[in-house]
């Protein structure tokens, strides 16, 4: 361990100023990527847990506005947000005047308005879950190229120095080449974890988005059954 540490310190001292700047940039990329991984992972886990609880509660209700009338709030639950926005629109369409009971039936036009409200809510919640993934995508695609740039630059400087000195041997070349290669290693160390995390998060996002779409359809079906009068 001590030997590996001393080797890294030696390579760092041998690296050119350009390589050091690139390594520092990659370190910042790594911090941002790992922060995003943990934040999005916790967000997806919380959304899954709350969606499961809310969906179970919703299916246990006898009518669409059962939860809405109890004025329950579930922060951080995408399904609740969709339900709440749809219920607010439904409640507005059912009200005739202040203090009067709700109407028993809805018109087709009102149902279409509620449907569009739910579609917009699903889109907004999907974008919330997707936010931040672009940072991981940038880390996956950009970090290796940034590391490769540092390596090519370092090797170029090493061969230029050899050409100027007129002496080409392993002792002269090894420090510069090893210092140049460390930027590629740094780039891969940023990109590889980001790639696995990004793929997992994209898959999880698709699952959550399908859940949102299915819930919105179920909510509309229940709403139409309860409030749309059959001809």
Q: Quick: pLDDT tens for 185-215.
A: 889 999 999 999 999 999 999 999 999 999 9
7 located within any domain: no
Q: Output phi, psi for 24, to 5 deg.
A: -65, -40
1 located within any domain: no
48 located within any domain: yes
9 located within any domain: no
14 located within any domain: no
12 located within any domain: no
Asked if pLDDT for residue 2 goes beyond 50, the answer is no
* Alpha-carbon separation of residue 188 from 75, 137, 204, 220 (angstroms): 38, 14, 24, 47
Element (H, E) at 190: helix 170-227
What is the domain extent for residue 139? 23-227
8 located within any domain: no
Measure CA 72 to chain center: 28
Measure CA 201 to chain center: 6
Alpha helix stretches (DSSP H) within the chain: 2-14, 17-59, 66-69, 78-94, 108-130, 133-165, 170-227
The whole model's pTM is what?
A: 0.81
What does the pLDDT look like over 46-103, one tens digit per residue?
A: 999 999 999 998 888 888 888 888 888 888 899 999 999 999 988 888 876 665 677 7
Q: How many domains does the chain have?
A: 1
147 located within any domain: yes
> Quick check: helix, strand or coil at residue 206?
helix
């Amino acid at each position: 361990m001590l030997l590996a540490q001393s080797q890294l310190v030696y390579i760092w001292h041998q690296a050119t100023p350009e390589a050091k700047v690139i390594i520092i940039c990659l370190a910042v990329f790594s911090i941002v990527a790992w922060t995003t991984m943990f934040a999005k992972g916790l967000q997806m886990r919380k959304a899954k847990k709350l969606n499961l609880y809310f969906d179970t509660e919703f299916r246990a209700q006898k009518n669409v506005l059962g939860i809405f009338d109890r004025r329950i709030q579930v922060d951080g639950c995408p399904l609740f947000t969709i339900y709440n926005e749809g219920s607010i629109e439904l409640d507005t369409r059912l009200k005739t005047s202040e203090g009067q009971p709700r109407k028993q039936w809805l018109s087709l036009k009102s149902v279409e308005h509620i449907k569009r409200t739910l579609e917009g809510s699903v889109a907004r919640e999907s974008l919330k879950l997707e936010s931040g993934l672009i940072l991981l995508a940038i880390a996956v695609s950009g970090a290796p190229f940034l590391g490769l740039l540092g390596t090519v630059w370092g090797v170029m400087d090493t061969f230029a120095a050899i050409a100027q000195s007129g002496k080409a041997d392993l002792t002269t070349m090894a420090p510069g080449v090893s210092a140049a290669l460390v930027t590629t290693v740094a780039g891969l160390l940023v990109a590889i974890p980001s790639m696995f995390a990004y793929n997992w998060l994209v898959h999880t996002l698709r699952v959550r988005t399908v859940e949102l779409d299915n819930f919105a359809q179920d909510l509309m079906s229940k709403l139409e059954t309860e409030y749309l009068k059959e001809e």
